[in-house]
C-alpha cells in the first residue's frame, strides 16, 4: 500500500533529498558536469530512500505492533513477539515498557473474566434470587431464581433499566432508596403469579463505593444496591402444618391425661399400702408434668397464631411480678431457697396481655429455682423502669450455663446439659415461652452466666 507523499516518512525523505540536491548542485554545476550532478543526485536519492525505509522498519512498524498488542491486552489476550521486533533504542525501550504493561493488563483482565464466570456460576446455582442495580438504576445482576420470583418479563437481562425488568413496585422502591440513602432494608413481599401466591423475604443492601467502617453510609455514597430474595412459601406451609399438628395432639391429650390424674388421686385416697401410695404419687406427679407440657404447647400455639383471646391493654407489670413471686415462694422454700422480690412502689404500666406477661414471669422464676436448688441459696427478682422501658431481672447463684449453650437456651425443648438437668422435670418450653412473650410485647430477652 502506497503512502501519500505528505505523510511521514516520505515528508522527511523529500526534505533530506532537497537538502542533498541543494548541496550537490553547486558542486556539480561548478565543474560543468551535468552527468556527475545527475549521478550524485541519484546516489543521494538512494541514500535518503534507504534511510526512510530503515526508519519505517525501526519506528513506525514497531509502534503499529505496539498498538496492536495493547488492543490484544484490552481483549484479555497476552501479546507475543513485541520484543522481537527490530527498533531503534528509544523505540525498543518503549516497546519493553508497553510489553510489560500489556502483559499485566491481559493477566488482570483474565482474572476478572474468570471471577466473573465463577460469580455467574454461583448465582445461577443459588435458590435465592439476586437483583443488583448500578448508580443509574440499571440492572447489573439478575439470576434465574430472581427472574422466577419477581415474574420478570421474557428476555430480561443485565443492562436493562430496573423498571423494565422488575414489575414489583415495592422492590423497585427499596432498591432505589437503598442506593440513595445507603440504608439496609428487610421486608416481605406477597407475589401473585401463575403458580399462585408466594411469600418472599427480601433483604436490600447498598453497594457502597467506600467500604470504610467509620465512614457514614450517605457520605460514602452508593454505587448501586443489591436485593436477596428468598421464597418462604413452603416453609410457612410446613410451619402451619406443624403448629396445627401440635395443637391437635395437645387438645387430644388433655382429656386422657386429666382422666388418668383424677383416677390416680381417687386411688390415693383409698390406698393404705406404702408401696402402692408411692406408685400412685409418681403417676400423679407425671400426669401433672404432662398437663404442664400440653399447656405449654398450647400457649406457644396461641402466641404463634396470636389467638390467645386476650386483647392488649395497659397493665401494671409490678403487680404481676409481686403476685407471681408470692405464688411461687412456697416452692422456693421447699427447695431451701430464699426468693427476694424488688419492685418499685409506683406502678410500672406496660401495654400488653396480662396472662401472657404472668406466664413469662412464672417461666423465668421457676427456671431459676429449678437450676439453683442443688447448688445455690438465693433467687432475686427485680423490676425497674428505665427510659420508658420496663426491665425485669431474674438472678440466681445456681449451676450456671456454659458459654456454648447461651445462644440456644431459648429454643424450644433445648436443654443446656442433659446430664445435669435430667430429673429436674419441666417441659423444656418455659424459656421459649418467655422469649415469645417478650418479643410479642416489643421487647427482648438476654442471658448472662458464669458456669
Report pLDDT digits (tens) over 77-111.
666 655 555 555 666 676 677 667 767 777 777 78
* Integer Cα distance of 107 and 77 in angstroms: 8
Mean pLDDT, to the nearest integer, of 317-325? 92
High-pLDDT (> 90) share of the chain, %: 10
SS3 129: strand
**Nearest-angstrom CA–CA distance, 233 and 218:** 35
Using 50, 70 and 90 to split pLDDT, how confident is the model at 239?
confident
Distance CA 429, CA 433 (A): 6
Under 8 Å CB-to-CB from 442, ≥6 apart: which residues? none
pLDDT category of residue 243 using cuts at 50, 70 and 90: confident
pLDDT above 70 covers what percent of the chain? 69
For strands 338-342 and 378-386, give the pairing: parallel
Mean pLDDT of 142-148: 84
CB 305 within 8 A of CB 436: no
**Cα 331 to Cα 171: distance, rounded to the nearest angstrom:** 55
* Statement: residue 323 has pLDDT above 90: yes
Residue 321 has pLDDT above 90, yes or no: yes
* Rounded Cα–Cα distance for residues 62 and 83 (Å): 9
Return the pLDDT at 451: 64
> What pLDDT does residue 27 have?
45
Question: Between 96 and 265, whose confidence is greater?
Answer: 265
Q: Are 198 and 191 in contact (CB under 8 A)?
A: yes
pLDDT at 73 over 50: yes
Mean local confidence (pLDDT), 222-228: 86
Task: Determine the average pLDDT of the residues in 374-392.
Answer: 85
Average pLDDT over residues 316-324: 93
- pLDDT tens digits, one per residue of 170-218: 888 999 889 888 889 999 888 887 777 888 889 999 987 654 444 444 4
What are the tens digits of pLDDT across the range 13-70?
A: 444 444 444 444 444 444 445 545 454 555 555 555 555 555 555 556 666 766 676 6
Which ranges of 338-381 would DSSP assign to H, the alpha helix? 354-370
Residues paired with residue 340 on neighbouring β-strands, in sequence order = 380
CA-to-CA distance for 335 and 64, rounded, in angstroms? 95
Residue 145 has pLDDT above 50, yes or no: yes
Note the pLDDT of residue 208: 74
- List, in order, residues 6 or more apart from 416 with CB less than 8 Å away: 401, 402, 405, 408, 409
The mean of the pLDDT values for the chain is: 75
Which has more pLDDT, 438 or 3?
438
User: Does the pTM of the predicted model rise above 0.75?
Assistant: no
The residue-averaged pLDDT of 345-367 equals 90
What are the start-end ranges of the E strands in 181-292? Answer: 185-193, 196-208, 222-231
Q: Say if residues 394 and 416 touch (Cβ distance below 8 Å).
A: no
- Band (pLDDT 50/70/90 cuts) for residue 333 is confident
Q: Is the model more confident about 252 or about 175?
A: 175
For position 72, what pLDDT does the model report? 65
313 contacts: CB under 8 Å, gap ≥ 6: 351, 352, 353, 354
- Rounded Cα gap, residues 27 and 42, in angstroms: 15
What are residue 315's DSSP bridge partners? Answer: 350
Amino acid at each position: 500500500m502506497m503512502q501519500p507523499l505528505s505523510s511521514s516518512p516520505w515528508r522527511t525523505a523529500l526534505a533530506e533529498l532537497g537538502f542533498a540536491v541543494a548541496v550537490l548542485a553547486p558542486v556539480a554545476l561548478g565543474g560543468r558536469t551535468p552527468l556527475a550532478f545527475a549521478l550524485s543526485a541519484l546516489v543521494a536519492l538512494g541514500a535518503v530512500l534507504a534511510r526512510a525505509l530503515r526508519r519505517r522498519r525501526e519506528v513506525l512498524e514497531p509502534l503499529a505492533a505496539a498498538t496492536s498488542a495493547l488492543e490484544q491486552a484490552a481483549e484479555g489476550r497476552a501479546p507475543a513477539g513485541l520484543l522481537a521486533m527490530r527498533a531503534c533504542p528509544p523505540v525498543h525501550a518503549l516497546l519493553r515498557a508497553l510489553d510489560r504493561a500489556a502483559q499485566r493488563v491481559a493477566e488482570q483482565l483474565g482474572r476478572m473474566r474468570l471471577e466473573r464466570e465463577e460469580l455467574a456460576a454461583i448465582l445461577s446455582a443459588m435458590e435465592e434470587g439476586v437483583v443488583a442495580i448500578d448508580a443509574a438504576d440499571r440492572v447489573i445482576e439478575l439470576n434465574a431464581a430472581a427472574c422466577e420470583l419477581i415474574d420478570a418479563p421474557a428476555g430480561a437481562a443485565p443492562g436493562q433499566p430496573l423498571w423494565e425488568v422488575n414489575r414489583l413496585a415495592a422492590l423497585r422502591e427499596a432498591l432505589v432508596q437503598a442506593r440513595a440513602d445507603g440504608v439496609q432494608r428487610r421486608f416481605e413481599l406477597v407475589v401473585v403469579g401463575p403458580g399462585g401466591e408466594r411469600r418472599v423475604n427480601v433483604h436490600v443492601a447498598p453497594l457502597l463505593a467506600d467500604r470504610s467502617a467509620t465512614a457514614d453510609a450517605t457520605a460514602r455514597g452508593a454505587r448501586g444496591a443489591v436485593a436477596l430474595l428468598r421464597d418462604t412459601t413452603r416453609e410457612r406451609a410446613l410451619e402451619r402444618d406443624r403448629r396445627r399438628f401440635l395443637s391437635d395432639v395437645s387438645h387430644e391429650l388433655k382429656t386422657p391425661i386429666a382422666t388418668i390424674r383424677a383416677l390416680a388421686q381417687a386411688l390415693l385416697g383409698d390406698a393404705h399400702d406404702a408401696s402402692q401410695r408411692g406408685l400412685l404419687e409418681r403417676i400423679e406427679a407425671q400426669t401433672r408434668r404432662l398437663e404442664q407440657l400440653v399447656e405449654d404447647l398450647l400457649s406457644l400455639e396461641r402466641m404463634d397464631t396470636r389467638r390467645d383471646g386476650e386483647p392488649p391493654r395497659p397493665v401494671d407489670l409490678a403487680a404481676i411480678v409481686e403476685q407471681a413471686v408470692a405464688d411461687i415462694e412456697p416452692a422456693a422454700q421447699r427447695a431451701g431457697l430464699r426468693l427476694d422480690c424488688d419492685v418499685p412502689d409506683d406502678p410500672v404500666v406496660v401495654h400488653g396481655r396480662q396472662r401472657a406477661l404472668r406466664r413469662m414471669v412464672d417461666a423465668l422464676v421457676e427456671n431459676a429455682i429449678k437450676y439453683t436448688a442443688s447448688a445455690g441459696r438465693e433467687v432475686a427478682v427485680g423490676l425497674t423502669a428505665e427510659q420508658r422501658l420496663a426491665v425485669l431481672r431474674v438472678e440466681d447463684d445456681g449451676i450456671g450455663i456454659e458459654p456454648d449453650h447461651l445462644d440456644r437456651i431459648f429454643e424450644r425443648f433445648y436443654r443446656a446439659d442433659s446430664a445435669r438437668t435430667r430429673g429436674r422435670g419441666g417441659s423444656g418450653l418455659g424459656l421459649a415461652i418467655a422469649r415469645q412473650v417478650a418479643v410479642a410485647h416489643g421487647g427482648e430477652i438476654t442471658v448472662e452466666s458464669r458456669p
